[in-house]
């Protein structure tokens, strides 16, 4: 049985994603979510069609002129050879990430970055792998072993987490594969994994996490692990 994705980016973010106005590292998380979410794949198709329709409606009527139409048709036909290559790239749907003896499958949207992944940095049962993406935010793969809690923290900026494998539970609910969590500076949470299942996430952070409890001396290395 496949897990039903419950937490989506929402229409405004999807619209910005389609328009190409979303910042690159947020767009990356949204693209990876779409790869995992049939619901948002459908929404994107509908929104794209809607935008196409709007363009058609606003187009000047003179474009119905037969010579222009021939030109448009020629343009469309000229672009046609792109089709087959688009289909072939679809075959490489998933990419694999290796961590010690474990192998995780991650969405196609992350393929280019995962190929450039660096070394895993491990601290206890948490490991991160910083990906060379975005300059405003820190993008990383985040591995959390089973039965592990990340100390309670708030966010100085935006925290986007996309679950790629396993599950995360926090005060607000539980998140499975494909679920996208967006936390802002107003949110405080203590994410943890299930007692018998580890977890891999994509994490996009615009500022370091701020831990609320515990000894700073011990939490500092943890902060560096994430950011």
Binding footprint of Zn ion on the chain (CB under 5 A): 8, 37, 39-40
Strand partners, 104: 97
Min dist CB 8 to Zn ion, Å, is 3
CB nearer to Zn ion: pick between 40 and 114: 40
Min dist CB 44 to Zn ion, Å, is 9
Min dist CB 219 to Zn ion, Å, is 33
Strand partners, 110: none
CB nearer to Zn ion: pick between 33 and 137: 33
Min dist CB 184 to Zn ion, Å, is 19
CB nearer to Zn ion: pick between 12 and 195: 12
**Alpha-carbon distances of 89 from 40, 84, 92, 93, 107, rounded to whole Å:** 20, 9, 6, 8, 13
Rounded Cα gap, residues 188 and 209, in angstroms: 10
CB nearer to Zn ion: pick between 43 and 222: 43
Min dist CB 2 to Zn ion, Å, is 13
Q: Is the dihedral of CA 36, 38, 39, 43 positive or negative?
A: positive
188-189, strands of its sheet edge to edge: 188-189, 153-155, 209-211
**Alpha-carbon distances of 200 from 41, 75, 97, 156, rounded to whole Å:** 22, 44, 10, 23
Map tokens 């993008």 to a residue. 139
CB nearer to Zn ion: pick between 178 and 226: 178
Q: How many CB atoms lie within 10 A of CB 181?
A: 20
């Amino acid at each position: 049985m496949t897990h039903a994705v419950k937490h989506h980016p929402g229409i405004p973010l999807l619209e910005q994603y389609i328009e190409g106005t979303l910042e690159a590292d947020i767009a990356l998380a949204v693209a990876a979510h779409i790869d995992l979410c049939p619901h948002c794949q459908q929404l994107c198709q509908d929104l794209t069609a809607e935008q196409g329709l709007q363009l058609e409606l606003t187009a000047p009527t003179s474009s119905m002129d037969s010579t222009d139409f021939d030109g448009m048709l020629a343009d469309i036909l000229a672009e046609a050879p792109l089709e087959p290559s688009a289909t072939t790239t679809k075959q490489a749907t998933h990419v694999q990430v290796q961590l010690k003896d474990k192998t995780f499958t991650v969405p196609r949207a992350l393929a280019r970055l995962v190929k450039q992944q660096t070394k895993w940095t491990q601290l206890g049962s948490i490991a991160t792998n910083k990906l060379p993406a975005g300059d405003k935010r820190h993008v990383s793969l985040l591995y959390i072993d089973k039965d592990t809690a990340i100390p309670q923290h708030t966010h100085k900026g935006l925290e986007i987490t996309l679950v790629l494998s396993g599950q995360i539970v926090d005060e607000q609910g539980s998140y499975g594969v494909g679920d996208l969590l967006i936390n802002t500076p107003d949110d405080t949470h203590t994410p943890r994994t299930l007692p018998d299942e580890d977890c891999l996430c994509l994490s996009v952070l615009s500022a370091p996490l701020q831990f609320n409890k515990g000894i700073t001396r011990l939490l500092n290395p943890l902060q560096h692990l994430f950011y």
